[in-house]
């Protein structure tokens, strides 16, 4: 197969675009899709400081490299979850990547913050992944606001977005459908949250990471039963195979026609927010969810005879 643009031997087939690219033309295509997302949805404005949440996976590291190449003022943020073996491995990848490319990095250690994920798993009776997601989002927003970043960028790709949108649609979850998308505007103590890889598939971010020699953390979290929305992603892979281009059409169609309809409906809802009494993060419950988790974990840890023996 030949590259559609320059006729050199193709290295990356892209059936959904009915095309294939050589290495250089794929790089230009990737950049074009990121720029298109940024422009079309107003994700990042010139001169803004961008905090990029880095997990160590292919998506977030690719995003960081691409935004830095586009000239944005980026700083990485890694949340070290404190899970034995796996967290150190992920953190090492993030640190090595930032060192290699001369990129700024902030690391938050949940162990030092008194809320390591193994303790959340042990002492809190609810699915650890949802608590963990909440804690990560808390730190993304907190560092963005406390350290004067205007934008918080995550590595969510088109497959993540479509799988989430599909799940929200199956439940007709009007609240989530009213604001899902590549840009959540800053308001009420929340920084703007953006997803510049929303037009690129998992396969495409994987190719970008591979072709750029990015060393990534690939092991799944030992506490999760695999990646999120795996079943839905498989369904969408079949749909896309049968009818290339479905994924981006579904997502773009939602952003143009679906979301505005839900947004109008949901506009007036929601409790008023005020700063958390402990950490100042916005909350409608006096003390925010993460500070309440921390209080519960601290109390139960102190009452745990096994911990006292150590």
Least Å distance, CB 283 to Zn ion, is 7
Q: Toward ligand FES, which CB reaches closer, 105 or 227?
A: 227
The Cα 156–Cα 177 span in angstroms is 17
64 binds ligand AMP (CB under 6 A): no
Size of the site for Zn ion (CB under 5 A): 6
Tokens of 121: 């798993």
Contacts of 112 (CB under 8 A, 6+ apart): none
Min separation Cβ 140 and ligand AMP, Å: 7
Shortest Å, Cβ 119 to ligand FES: 12
Kindly tell me the burial class for residue 185, based on how many C-beta atoms sit within 10 Å of its own C-beta (0-12, 13-18, 19 or more): exposed
| Per-residue tokens: 246 | 């479905």
Give the residue nearest to ligand AMP (CB). 155
Bridge-based pairing state of the strands 151-153 and 183-184:
unpaired
CB of 42 to ligand FES, least distance (A): 30
- Is residue 229 within 8 A of residue 158, CB to CB? The reply is no
What is d(CA 179, CA 263) in angstroms, rounded to the nearest whole number? 7
Applying CB under 6 A, the span of 33-41, 48-56, 117-125, 233-241 interacting with ligand AMP comes to 48-56
* 34 near Zn ion, judged by CB under 5 A: no
Stretch in the footprint of ligand FES (CB under 6 A) among 11-19, 128-136, 165-173, 238-246: 128-136
CB-wise, 1 or 96, nearer to ligand AMP?
96
Across 66-84, b (16+ Cβ under 10 Å) vs e yields: bbbeeebbbbbbbbbbbbe
Residue 224, interface with ligand FES (CB under 6 A)? yes
Which listed residue (22, 72, 119, 155) binds ligand AMP by CB under 6 A? 155
Angle of helix 230-242 relative to helix 246-253, nearest 10 degrees, comes to 110
**Residue 132 contact among ligand AMP, Zn ion, ligand FES, none, beta carbon within 5 to 8 Å by kind:** ligand FES
Residue 154 binding ligand AMP, by CB under 6 A: yes
Here's the x/- map for Zn ion, 266-295, by CB under 5 A: it reads as ----------x-xx-x------x--x----
In this chain, which stretch among 31-39, 76-84, 203-211, 293-301 interacts with ligand AMP, using CB under 6 A? 76-84
- DSSP designation for 287: S
Spatial CA neighbour of 138 closest among 281, 304, 18, 299: 281
Strand stretches in the chain, DSSP E: 12-14, 19-21, 49-53, 73-80, 104-109, 151-153, 183-184, 192-194, 274-275, 282-283
24-53 residues labelled b (16+ CB within 10 A) or e (exposed): ebbbebbeebbeebbeebebbeeeeebbbb
From ligand FES, ligand AMP, Zn ion, none, interface partner of 186 (C-beta below 5 to 8 A by class): none
Nearer to ligand AMP, 22 or 81 (CB): 81
* Range 104-143, binding ligand AMP (CB under 6 A): 136
Q: Given the rule CB under 6 A, which residues bind ligand AMP? A: 53-55, 59-60, 77-79, 81, 136, 154-156
């Amino acid at each position: 197969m030949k590259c559609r643009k320059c006729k050199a031997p193709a290295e990356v087939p892209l059936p959904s675009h009915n095309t294939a690219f050589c290495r250089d033309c794929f790089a230009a295509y990737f950049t074009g899709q990121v720029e298109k997302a940024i422009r079309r949805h107003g994700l990042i404005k010139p001169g803004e400081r961008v905090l990029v949440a880095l997990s160590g996976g292919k998506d977030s590291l690719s995003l960081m490299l691409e935004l830095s190449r586009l000239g944005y003022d980026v700083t990485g943020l890694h949340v070290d979850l404190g899970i034995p073996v796996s967290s150190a491995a992920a953190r090492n990848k993030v640190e090595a990547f930032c060192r290699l490319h001369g990129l700024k990095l902030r690391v938050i250690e949940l162990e030092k913050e008194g809320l390591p994920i193994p303790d959340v798993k042990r002492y809190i009776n609810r699915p650890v992944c949802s608590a963990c997601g909440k804690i990560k989002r808390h730190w993304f927003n907190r560092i963005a606001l406390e350290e004067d970043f205007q934008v918080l960028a995550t590595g969510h790709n088109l497959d993540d977005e479509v799988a989430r949108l599909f799940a929200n649609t199956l439940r007709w979850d009007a609240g989530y459908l009213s604001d899902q998308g590549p840009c959540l505007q800053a308001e009420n103590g929340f920084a703007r949250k953006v997803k510049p890889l929303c037009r690129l598939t998992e396969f495409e971010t994987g190719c970008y990471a591979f072709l750029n020699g990015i060393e990534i953390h690939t092991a799944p979290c030992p506490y999760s039963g695999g990646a999120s929305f795996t079943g839905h992603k498989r369904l969408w892979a079949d749909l896309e195979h049968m009818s290339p281009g479905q994924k981006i059409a579904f997502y773009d169609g939602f952003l143009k026609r679906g979301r505005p309809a839900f947004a109008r409906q949901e506009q007036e809802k929601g409790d008023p927010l005020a700063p958390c009494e402990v950490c100042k993060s916005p909350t409608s419950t006096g003390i925010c969810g993460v500070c309440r988790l921390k209080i519960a974990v601290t109390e139960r840890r102190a009452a745990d005879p096994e911990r006292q023996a150590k």
